[in-house]
Amino acid sequence: MAGLFLLLSGLWFYLRPWWKSKKAHNFIGEDNEDLGKQEFIQYDFATLSAATSEFSVDNKLGEGGFGLVYKGTLNTGEVIALKRLSGKTGQGAKEFMTEARLVAKLQHRNLVKLLGFCSHGEEKMLVYEFLPNSSVDRFLFDPIRRESLKWKTRYKIIMGIARGLQYLHEDSRLIIIHRDLKPSNILLDKEMNPKIADFGIAKLFGGKQKYGNTSQIVGTQGYMAPEYLLTGEYSEKSDVYSFGIIIFELVSGQKNRVLYQATHMEDMPNHVWRLWNGGKCHDFIDPILQNSAPTSEVMKCIQIGMLCVQGNTDNRPTMATVVLMLTGSMPLPSPSTPLMAIHDYSLPRFDIDATQNHGSTDQSTSKLEAR
């Protein structure tokens, strides 16, 4: 009996590393690529609980469809951002697993860095680098903090987002469509370098696939491309559209809202188009930038933004082309009208059946279903 016990103990000691790696593989999911191969850390629950003072409210950074985001400090002194999914939360669990699988395969200076994970019973957690300056929207849409957002910094943010998207669309091993690009999902490090975050509803394309289609429209109103909002079709050009909106917001310091004119309604792309045609684009620039930003560079960004929000997806540039235009390596073509005025659309009716806060901000993400 003692011999059998020693044999079983030996087998357990020998197989334990394999069993742990299988747990990591099952946690991440498919594609035969587990986190262990990426040399990420598997944190234990007790360590993360202690780092966040038992997930105290004081350490809460934000809330999303997956659960909560916390700031934590490990016993080594390293500061982390922790995404915690607790319990059976349906779509939140699916978004969490999507983000885990995707981010584990991505490495770029303009993408948020995944440090490790934790799987403890029904609880799943992702551990990210902590970015001390929160997200772009926390600066851009705050009337006081926006004053510190000089043009040099805004241009660096625009360029960094463009390079990160180029990597996702063209330079990584996988083609990844983010589908929820917005200022609240662009985090800022201590030097104000941007990092794209929150891949919970991202889509992965393989082979020669260029387009996807869904009957369940998930994203944030104001940043969704019209073809996606109206038909459910998405592609890399959907992200390009969202990027164009972010350019407009960084230039103007304003959110993309529907504006009510005397005879019609218009959103930000059509508002900018009208100003462009009337030679009044200076009126669109954030007053904070009026006397400090180089006019030619700001106008170049406005023009690139208009090219990104063209109604016809074929007329939108790729992100590689956008990077070339931003660096001055390619001449800028003339944009055409982005879209018809909003009231001219035969818009489908949508029910908003979920509104969630993602990341560390108060921006909403809506799940829309056509009816």
| Residue 92: predicted pLDDT | 63
| Residue 174: predicted pLDDT | 79
Are the beta carbons of 105 and 121 closer than 8 angstroms?
no
| Residue 93: predicted pLDDT | 66
Per the annotation, the verdict on 239 as an active-site residue is: no
From the list 31, 34, 142, 180, the catalytic residue is: 180
Fold exhibited by the domain 27-129:
Phosphorylase Kinase; domain 1 (3.30.200)
| Residue 44: predicted pLDDT | 92
Query: Which CATH architecture is the domain 136-370 placed in?
Result: Orthogonal Bundle (1.10)
| Residue 292: predicted pLDDT | 84
Q: How far apart are CA 39 and CA 24, in angstroms?
A: 11
* Dihedral angle over CA of 135, 138, 144, 148, nearest 10: 10
Do strands 233-235 and 114-120 pair parallel, antiparallel, or not at all (unpaired)? Answer: unpaired
Identify the CA nearest to 189 among candidates 201, 197, 200. 197
| Residue 259: predicted pLDDT | 66
What residue ranges do the domains of the chain occupy?
A: 27-129, 136-370
Which amino acid does the sequence have at 299? M
Q: How far apart are CA 280 and CA 260, in angstroms?
A: 18
Identify the CA nearest to 180 among candidates 219, 225, 228. 219
The tens place of each residue's pLDDT in the chain, 371 residues long, gives: 555 444 444 444 444 443 343 344 334 444 334 443 455 688 999 999 999 999 999 999 987 667 789 999 999 999 999 998 866 555 566 777 677 777 777 889 999 998 888 888 778 898 999 999 999 999 999 999 999 999 999 999 999 999 999 999 998 877 899 999 999 999 999 999 999 998 888 888 876 677 788 878 888 889 999 999 888 999 999 999 999 999 999 999 999 987 655 555 788 999 999 999 999 999 999 999 988 899 999 999 999 999 999 999 999 999 999 999 999 988 899 998 886 434 344 444 333 333 333 343 333 444 443 32
| Residue 183: predicted pLDDT | 96
| Residue 345: predicted pLDDT | 41
| Residue 91: predicted pLDDT | 53
Do strands 186-188 and 203-205 pair parallel, antiparallel, or not at all (unpaired)? Answer: unpaired
| Residue 361: predicted pLDDT | 36
Q: Provide the sign of the torsion angle of the four alpha carbons 221, 224, 229, 233, taken in this order.
A: negative
